[in-house]
C-alpha cells in the first residue's frame, strides 16, 4: 500500500522474499525454507501461568483443510489478471512448498485470529503476498514485518517502536493491527477486494478511482477501477494463491503440513529479560527464540514492554518452571559503575553497548548531568555477544569483522570543535546513520572534541560483503523527484559510496526520477 509498500525484498544471497518481482506476474521468489517447527499456536488470551488451548475447529486436523472451509471470496472468476497469476503459481509448486514451510510457525495463530473476527480465510494468506511470511522482510518503502507496515501506519495502529523493539515485526501485535486495519477498510468500502486494494495502495487512491468511474458511469468494482499497476496485480495474486490452496490436492501442489494445534504460547514476564537467558530457561536456541519473537532487536526484551514472549508449546512448561524460580531482579544483569572524571552518559553507554536513554531511565536521571564518584546501574547482557544471534551488537561485530576482511579501507577521524555527525558524514560522502553505526553510536549522541571515529571506505568495484541473510535485504528503489544520493543513503542507513558501487554509478552525483537503484539494507537499522 502507499501505506504498506511491497517491493522486491531479497536476502544477500539473492533470495527473493516478497512483493513485486521481475517477472511481470510475480517474480520467481526463492526462499530458504525455515527450519521445521511444531506447527501450532496457543490461545493468547490464556492467563499467565495457565495453558489454555482452543481448537479452532475439531473437525479440521490440518490448517489447510480449515482454510478451505472458511474461504469466502470469488476465486473462480475468469478475469485475465487472476488467470495469469494462477498459472504462474501452478507452474511453480516449489514456491508454495517453501513459503508454507516458512509460515508454519505463525499460520495457526493468524488463521485463528482471522476466523475469530469472521473474516475470509484468504486474509490469513495475505502475508504470502506481502512478505512471503517473513517477519524480517523489509521493503524500499520502509515497510517491515510479515504484514509490511510503514512507520506512520504502524504508529496509527498502536505498534510500538523503540531501540529495543519494533512492533511491526511482532507476530501478535502486527497481526492484530493488520486485521483491525483491514476490517476498517472493509467497513469503508463494503467489499473485500476493494479493502485489499486499499491496504496496498491506500484508501484515498481507491476512493479517487471510484469517484472517477462514477463520473463516467462505469462500474466501481475492483476489476473496473484504474488503480496503480502494483495494486492491479496485488489482489489477483492473493486470489490465485487462495485458489491454489483450495485446489492443491487436485493440482498435486505440495503444501507444508500444518497441524491444527498451537505452535507457540504467549507467556507473561512482568519484567525485562535477557533473551539468551530466556532461551536457556526454555531449552531452545536463541535463534529459535528470535524467530518466534522477531520484534526484539537487542539482547533483551524492552524494559518498558511488551513484557511477554512467544514460546514453542513443547518448551513452555519448562520455560514457566524456570521463570518461576528466577526473580525479576535477576532476569537482566546489572553492572554497578562508578563514574570517573571525564565520563559522560554517552561514553558509558558506548562502553556497555547500550544507549544514553537506557542509562537515564534505569537511574531516573532527568538529563545527562552526572558527577564523578556517583554510581550508575547499567543493564547488560549476561552472555557473550555471539549468543544473541540477531541482536544489534552481534550484527555489529559480524559486520566489523567482514569489513576488516574486505577490501574496505579503515580510516580514523578525530572530532574537532564544532563538528557534528552530519558535517563529518557529508565531508566523507557517507550517511549519518552509517557513520554512527560504525562507531556504536546513535545519530543523536553528542560528539566530543578529540574523540576518534572509525570510517570505512570501499572501492567502487567491490561487491556486497557477505552478511546474515536474516538481517540484510536487497531491495529495488525507484528514484523520486527531489531525491539525491545523500537523502537516499540517509533514509536507508547506507553510504553514498555503497549506492554508487552497487549500481556502478562511478563519479556521477545526479539521479533521474524513475531511475532504478539496487540497495542492500540492514532491516534493524532502516527506519
Catalytic site residues?
130
DSSP type of residue 300: B
296 contact partners, CB below 8 Å, separation of at least 6: 164, 165, 275, 290, 302
DSSP type of residue 221: S
Q: At what angle do helices 192-201 and 171-189 cross, to 10 degrees?
A: 120
> Could you give the CA distance from residue 111 to residue 62 in angstroms, rounded to a whole number?
12
H/E element holding 502?
A: helix 496-503
Contact assessment for residue 150 and residue 174, using Cβ atoms and an 8 Å cutoff: no
Q: H helices of 335-415, where?
A: 345-351, 356-362, 392-405
DSSP type of residue 398: H
Reduced to 3 states, what is the DSSP secondary structure of residue 78? coil
> Could you give the CA distance from residue 391 to residue 399 in angstroms, rounded to a whole number?
12
Task: Look up residue 393 and give its three cell numbers.
Answer: 551488537
Best CA proximity match to 6, nearest among 128, 184, 165: 128
| Backbone φ and ψ of 63, nearest 5° | -65, -25
**% helix / strand / coil in the chain, to the nearest 5?**
40, 10, 45
3-state per-residue secondary structure call for 90-116: HHCHHHHHHHHHHHCCCHHHHHHHHHH
**Residue 162 CB coordination number (10 Å):** 16
Distances (CA, A) of 301 to 19, 82, 305, 367: 30, 43, 7, 24
Contact assessment for residue 493 and residue 437, using Cβ atoms and an 8 Å cutoff: yes
Best CA proximity match to 181, nearest among 152, 145, 208, 157: 157
Distances (CA, A) of 265 to 118, 143, 309, 315: 22, 27, 8, 9
Reduced to 3 states, what is the DSSP secondary structure of residue 345? helix
Amino acid at each position: 500500500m502507499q501505506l504498506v509498500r511491497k517491493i522486491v525484498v531479497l536476502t544477500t544471497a539473492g533470495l527473493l522474499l516478497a512483493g513485486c518481482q521481475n517477472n511481470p506476474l510475480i517474480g520467481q521468489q526463492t526462499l530458504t525454507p525455515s527450519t521445521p517447527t511444531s506447527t501450532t499456536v496457543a490461545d493468547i488470551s490464556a492467563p499467565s501461568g495457565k495453558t489454555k488451548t482452543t481448537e479452532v475447529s475439531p473437525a479440521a486436523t490440518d490448517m489447510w483443510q480449515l482454510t478451505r472451509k472458511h474461504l469466502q471470496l470469488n476465486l473462480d472468476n475468469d478475469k485475465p489478471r487472476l488467470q495469469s497469476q494462477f498459472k504462474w503459481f501452478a507452474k511453480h509448486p516449489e514456491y508454495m512448498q517453501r513459503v508454507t514451510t516458512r509460515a508454519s510457525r505463525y499460520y495457526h495463530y493468524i488463521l485463528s485470529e482471522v476466523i475469530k473476527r469472521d473474516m475470509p480465510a484468504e486474509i490469513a494468506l495475505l502475508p504470502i503476498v506481502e512478505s512471503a511470511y517473513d517477519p524480517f522482510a523489509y521493503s524500499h518503502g520502509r515497510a517491515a514485518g510479515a504484514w509490511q507496515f510503514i512507520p506512520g501506519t504502524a504508529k496509527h495502529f498502536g505498534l510500538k517502536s523503540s531501540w529495543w523493539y519494533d512492533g511491526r515485526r511482532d507476530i501478535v501485535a502486527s497481526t492484530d493491527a493488520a486485521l483491525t486495519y483491514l476490517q476498517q477498510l472493509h467497513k469503508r468500502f463494503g467489499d473485500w477486494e476493494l479493502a485489499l486494494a486499499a491496504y496496498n495502495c491506500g484508501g484515498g487512491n481507491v476512493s479517487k478511482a471510484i469517484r472517477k468511474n462514477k463520473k463516467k458511469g462505469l462500474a466501481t468494482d475492483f476489476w473496473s477501477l484504474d488503480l496503480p499497476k502494483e495494486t492491479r496485480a496485488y489482489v489477483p495474486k492473493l486470489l490465485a494463491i487462495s485458489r491454489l490452496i483450495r485446489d492443491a490436492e487436485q493440482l498435486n501442489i505440495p503444501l507444508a503440513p500444518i497441524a491444527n494445534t498451537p505452535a507457540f504460547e504467549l507467556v507473561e514476564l512482568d519484567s525485562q529479560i535477557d533473551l539468551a537467558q530466556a532461551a536457556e530457561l526454555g531449552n531452545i536456541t536463541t535463534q529459535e527464540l528470535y524467530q518466534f519473537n522477531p520484534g526484539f532487536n537487542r539482547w533483551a526484551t524492552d524494559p518498558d514492554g511488551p513484557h511477554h514472549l512467544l514460546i514453542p508449546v513443547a518448551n513452555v512448561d519448562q520455560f514457566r518452571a524456570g521463570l518461576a524460580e528466577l526473580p525479576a531482579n535477576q532476569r537482566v544483569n546489572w553492572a554497578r559503575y562508578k563514574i570517573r572524571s571525564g565520563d559522560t552518559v554517552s561514553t558509558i553507554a558506548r562502553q556497555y553497548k547500550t544507549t544514553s536513554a537506557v542509562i537515564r531511565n534505569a537511574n531516573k536521571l532527568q538529563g545527562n548531568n552526572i558527577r564523578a564518584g556517583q554510581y550508575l546501574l547499567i543493564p547488560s547482557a549476561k552472555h557473550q555477544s555471539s549468543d544473541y544471534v540477531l541482536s544489534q551488537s552481534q550484527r555489529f561485530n559480524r559486520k566489523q569483522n567482514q569489513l576488516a576482511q574486505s577490501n574496505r579501507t579503515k580510516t580514523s577521524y578525530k572530532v574537532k570543535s564544532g563538528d557534528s555527525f552530519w558535517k563529518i558524514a557529508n565531508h566523507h560522502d557517507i550517511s549519518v546513520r552509517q557513520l554512527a553505526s560504525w562507531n556504536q553510536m546513535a545519530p543523536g549522541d553528542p560528539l566530543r572534541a578529540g574523540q576518534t571515529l572509525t570510517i570505512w571506505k570501499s572501492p567502487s568495484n567491490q561487491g556486497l560483503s557477505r552478511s546474515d541473510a536474516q538481517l540484510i535485504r536487497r531491495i529495488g528503489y525507484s528514484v523520486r523527484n527531489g531525491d539525491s544520493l545523500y537523502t537516499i543513503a540517509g533514509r536507508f542507513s547506507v553510504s553514498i559510496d555503497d549506492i554508487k558501487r552497487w549500481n556502478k554509478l562511478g563519479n556521477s552525483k545526479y539521479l533521474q526520477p524513475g531511475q532504478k537503484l539496487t540497495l542492500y539494507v540492514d532491516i534493524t537499522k532502516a527506519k
